[in-house]
Amino acid sequence: MNTFLPVSKADMADRGWDWYDFLILTGDAYVDHPSFGTAIISRLLEAEGYRVTILAQPDWRKPEAFTAMGRPRLGVMLSAGNLDSMVAHYTVAKKRRHDDAYSPGNRAGLRPDRASIVYANKIREVFGDIPLVIGGLEASLRRFAHYDYWEDKVRRSVLFDSQADLLVYGMGETATREIAARLASGTPVGEITDVKGTAFIARDPSVCAYPKVECPSFEQVREDKRQYAVANQIQYEEHDPIRGKAILQRHGDRMLIVNPPAMPLTTAELDYVAELPYVREPHPMYDDMGGVPAIEEVRFSVAHNRGCFGACNFCSLAFHQGRIISSRSHESVLREVEALTHHPGFKGYIHDVGGPTANFRRPACKKQMKAGLCRGKACLAPAACPNLDADHTDYLMLLRKIRAVPGVKKVFIRSGIRFDFLLKDGNGEFFAELVKHHVSGQLKVAPEHCVNTVLDCMGKPHIEVYEKFRQKYERLNQKYGKEQYLVPYLMSSHPGCTLNDAVRLAEWLNKSGRQPEQVQDFYPTPGTLSTCMYYTGIDPRTMEPVYVPRDPHEKAMQRALMQWKRPEKRPLVREALYRAHREDLIGYGKECLLRPEHRKVPTSKAPAGKTGPGKGRKPTAEPVRKTKPVKKAGWAVAKPKKNARPGKKKGK
């Protein structure tokens, strides 16, 4: 039976330890599952023969919380958790969140803001010059000087504020293994400067071990938005494990050196990492606190791949996991599924067989693994590259094998299906089986908008591609007698989206008979191309100006237009239509979004003692013609069918 790693002195004593090698510190609750970065890194180090302890969500105000298990022999590795701590704590409106799915009992406030910095500084306070490595999503996306939405300013690399020795970016297994081996061999942490997938600070740039390029300095990007856009584009262009160079960025009299990315794991390496001896559950110390809600999304799901060459501009995946795909073997996935069937809570449903994008199983094209990613080009947007390898056969075979595992009743796909990639597969067999076997009532896809100029800013395919997909999805559902709906994810207020564009999106939704119940506002998270556009007003790919909706009132109007039927949204919708000079959408036609305002119609008061039609009545409101709601096949209804399985929350 698999057991949790030590979280206390008592746990260490149970193992007969009076010392240990590495302290793994995390801003999340301790969940020993391969969907949590802390679990992967700790199990990987354990498998390498190191003694590892876990310190989850320590009280950062108390030094003794960090020293409860004593000083580690080799070093401390810390992560803010599976999310950037500021995203975990604040909505796009910068309001404090009241819950945290990665904390026990869904309780907010158990980690600090800017957790990587706060934790690292506390480690320096209590352990002095101990080797300190930061990693995880927060550190990865903040490795360069970056715009911080919450402070509305450019901050320097998190390495400087954290006082860490090394930063590991990306998924980190290869770099972590190499760093641990060097430390164990007695190499001073200051001499570990050539590990791919890491960043460090130096005064002499000649210590960089790789071909290098320098991007504008912290001071330059802080003062000049055009220089910020130049730096951002260089950082994206060189984020390639095959052809990418090291990137240098000066901060005052010191130099940030970011080594080239590590190569993606091979299939055998990814199998090994996925099958380490995880307990696959939250630590039992959280049982009395209500458990850790985040496990519910992944407990009966299987991740079969990594990386995403979809590379949407607003998504952090391309800048973290990279755009080259790694995938697990069928045998490894099947072993995991078979193990899930023995879980006491398993009821026959595999909730997802996915990853960053579910239907990616191989690199985008054959030359990618030899020459790297094409400079200045995207694989799928605005149109799919002619060299794209869109064969879904391997993924289809995997799904068929999982369906055949004894005890499995249904296999769903809930993580993102890239519909433009699916359409490039001329076979059509996968699309048919997706509809027949793998949709749990609703299929969620992400067109994001309907205006092509906005989609170009997003790095998404043009709306005609989505419409083609939707029509084929409807035909297949009719063919197989399925009543399954399509739920489009949509985004408001993305850079490039004007108020007129938002009105056009509302028109498109109205014609389609669809009003989304949830709307995602663009959230400027660290490091992405879209965040660069938001801050600078420049598209870093072209260096051309781009419109940015920053005013909170305009953003509220853009959001309201996507939910125009809600009574509380109507004043904002009406104002937006007038501002956009689209009064033609106020009326009684089926194309209209709003009815005219109710106007009081005065009437004469009848003389005393006389009554009759129209006499002696109170003023009446202008009549409103009733219309039936539009409903078209292929769109999700407002309320899901009874007993329908809930869909997975959007992750991208």
Count the alpha carbons within 13 Å of 559 in the hemisphere toward its beta carbon: 18
| Residue 599: predicted pLDDT | 59
Domain 300-438 has CATH 3.30.750.210: yes
Strand partners, 621: 600
The number of helix segments (H) and strand segments (E) in the chain equals: 23, 24
Count the alpha carbons within 13 Å of 287 in the hemisphere toward its beta carbon: 4
| Identity of the amino acid at 224 | D
Beta strands 485-492 and 520-521 are: parallel
Question: Phi, psi (5° rounding) for residue 165?
Answer: -80, -40
Best mean pLDDT range from 81-85, 413-417, 486-490, 636-640: 81-85
Could you tell me what percent of the chain has a pLDDT over 70? 91
Would you call 253 helix, strand, or coil by DSSP? coil
State the DSSP code for 67.
S
| Residue 514: predicted pLDDT | 81
Q: Which whole number is the average pLDDT over 173-196?
A: 98
Q: Select from 468, 493, 463, 638 the least CA-distant residue to 555.
A: 493
The predicted model scores a pTM of: 0.89
The CATH topology of domain 9-196 is Rossmann fold (3.40.50)
Q: Which whole number is the average pLDDT over 393-397?
A: 97
| Residue 519: predicted pLDDT | 82
Tell me where in the chain the CATH 3.30.750.210 domain(s) lie: 300-438
Tell me where in the chain the CATH 3.30.750.200 domain(s) lie: 439-599+628-652
| Residue 518: predicted pLDDT | 74
Say whether pLDDT at 649 is over 60. no
The lowest-confidence range among 25-39, 191-205, 276-290, 376-390 is 376-390
Q: Which whole number is the average pLDDT over 607-613?
A: 41
Tell me where in the chain the CATH 3.40.50.280 domain(s) lie: 9-196
| Residue 620: predicted pLDDT | 37
Cα 213 to Cα 96, 135, 216, 224, distances in angstroms: 39, 23, 10, 20
Tokens representing 286 are 């959280």
Say whether pLDDT at 192 is over 80. yes
Q: What is the DSSP string of 325-343?
A: -EE--HHHHHHHHHHHTTS
Q: pLDDT band at residue 516, thresholds of 50, 70 and 90? A: confident
The lowest-confidence range among 105-109, 314-318, 615-619 is 615-619
| Residue 478: predicted pLDDT | 97
| Residue 651: predicted pLDDT | 40
Q: Which whole number is the average pLDDT over 511-524?
A: 87
| Residue 631: predicted pLDDT | 41
| Residue 415: predicted pLDDT | 84
User: 370 exposed, middle or buried (CB, 10 Å; 0-12, 13-18, 19+)?
Assistant: exposed
Say whether pLDDT at 53 is over 70. yes
Please give the residue that has the higher pLDDT: either 608 or 270: 270
Tokens representing 97 are 């969140």
Q: Select from 502, 494, 412, 487 the least CA-distant residue to 456.
A: 494
| Residue 460: predicted pLDDT | 96
Count the alpha carbons within 13 Å of 224 in the hemisphere toward its beta carbon: 9
Alpha helices in 165-224, H assignment, sequence order: 173-184, 218-223
The lowest-confidence range among 32-36, 141-145, 320-324 is 320-324
| Residue 600: predicted pLDDT | 54
- Centre a 10 Å sphere on the Cβ of residue 322 and count the other Cβ atoms it contains: 28
Domain spanning 439-599+628-652 has what CATH number?
3.30.750.200
574-582's contacts with Cβ under 8 Å and 24+ in sequence apart are 576/499, 576/502, 576/503, 577/503, 579/499, 580/499, 580/500, 580/503, 582/500, 582/503
Q: What CA–CA distance (Å, rounded) separates 55 from 5? A: 10
| Residue 369: predicted pLDDT | 86
| Residue 619: predicted pLDDT | 39
Q: Kindly report, residue by residue over 434-450, the tens digit of the pLDDT.
A: 999 999 999 999 999 99
Say whether pLDDT at 86 is over 60. yes
In the numeric block, the tokens 């995991």 are attached to 336
Q: Kindly report, residue by residue over 326-353, the tens digit of the pLDDT.
A: 999 999 999 999 999 999 999 999 999 9
R_g of the chain computed on alpha carbons: 27
Q: Which whole number is the average pLDDT over 544-560?
A: 97
Say whether pLDDT at 612 is over 50. no
Q: Kindly report, residue by residue over 626-644, the tens digit of the pLDDT.
A: 444 444 434 443 344 444 4
| Residue 1: predicted pLDDT | 63
Q: pLDDT band at residue 416, thresholds of 50, 70 and 90? A: confident
Q: What CA–CA distance (Å, rounded) separates 191 from 194? A: 9
